[in-house]
């Protein structure tokens, strides 16, 4: 068997998420069908991150095996041909060691969440960022974001649909950058709980709007979802990079 790694970019707006589901088209299903069209073989691909419906990716990674060797450029170009006209692109293809697994070999996953803070509605960036119309106290957001760093029980920041056995996660980095009206949240960790990034961002925005008076440290210690803020909408979230 020959093991391949692909790096993928996609607009998640019209998909049910990464993972194959019965209620609509997923990124996984679309790529698996494209591999079948290219190779005439049924293949299961393994993704590095199970992005939710509406979430985008600039650097999603997946791996899969093929019985017969195919040149990496042929795989990239052939899959891109069969993926049209869907907003999904294979950026690169690599032949890798047999023991590589896109999910379990990952050492660090990077996400970016984009917020536009302005009164006017969105036009060009609609479905690409979260538009917050009231003024966000960015200094308070930056200050509170640093309390996420390190190892914590993040029960307050997990979806009720989360199936993870443990809520203990380690956040490697959490940077908040503001450029005029745009606020970018850049977060890295080995793994995340279901909707964790969106709940963390939503909570920080609520703190910046004055809707939540508790600190991030307090909310973490309470270990209950009800004390955290809103779940930020999926369309502002991007899986940007996976490190191995």
Q: Is the separation of the CB atoms in 167 and 193 below 8 Å?
A: yes
Residues 6+ apart with CB under 8 A from 48: 60, 61, 62, 102, 103, 106, 109, 239, 242
Residue whose token pair is 């060797």? 69
Known active-site residue 71: no
Task: Exactly one of 11, 22, 52, 73 is catalytic; name it.
Answer: 52
Measure CA 111 to chain center.
Answer: 6
Q: Report how far apart, in Å, the C-alpha atoms of 151 and of each of 2, 51, 221 are.
A: 37, 23, 12
Residues 6+ apart with CB under 8 A from 243: 106, 107, 108, 109, 110
Phi first, then psi: what are they for 6, rounded to 5°? -120, 145
Closest CA to 114 of 105, 124, 102: 124
- Spell out a b/e string for 12-41, using b for 16 or more CB atoms within 10 Å of the CB, else e: beebbbbebeeeeebbbbbbbebbeebbee
List residues with catalytic annotation. Answer: 52
């Amino acid at each position: 068997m020959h093991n391949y790694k692909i790096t993928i970019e996609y607009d998640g707006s019209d998909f049910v998420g990464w993972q194959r589901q019965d209620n609509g088209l997923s990124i996984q299903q679309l790529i698996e069908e494209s591999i079948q069209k290219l190779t005439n073989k049924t293949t299961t691909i393994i993704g590095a991150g199970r992005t939710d419906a509406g979430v985008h990716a600039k650097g999603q990674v997946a791996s899969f095996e093929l019985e017969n060797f195919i040149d990496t450029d042929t795989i990239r170009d052939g899959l891109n041909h069969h993926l049209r006209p869907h907003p999904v692109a294979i950026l690169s293809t690599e032949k890798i060691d047999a023991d590589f697994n896109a999910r379990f070999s990952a050492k660090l996953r990077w996400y970016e969440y984009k917020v536009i803070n302005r009164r006017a509605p969105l036009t060009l960036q609609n479905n690409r960022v979260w538009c917050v119309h009231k003024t966000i106290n960015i200094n308070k957001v930056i200050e509170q974001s640093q309390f996420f760093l390190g190892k914590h029980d993040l029960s307050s920041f997990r979806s009720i649909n989360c199936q993870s056995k443990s809520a203990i996660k380690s956040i490697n980095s959490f940077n908040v950058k503001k450029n005029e009206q745009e606020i970018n949240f850049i977060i890295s960790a080995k793994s995340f709980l279901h909707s964790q990034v969106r709940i963390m961002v939503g909570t920080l925005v609520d703190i910046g709007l004055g809707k939540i008076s508790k600190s991030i440290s307090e909310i973490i210690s309470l270990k209950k979802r009800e004390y955290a803020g809103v779940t930020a909408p999926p369309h502002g979230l991007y899986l940007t990079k996976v490190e191995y």
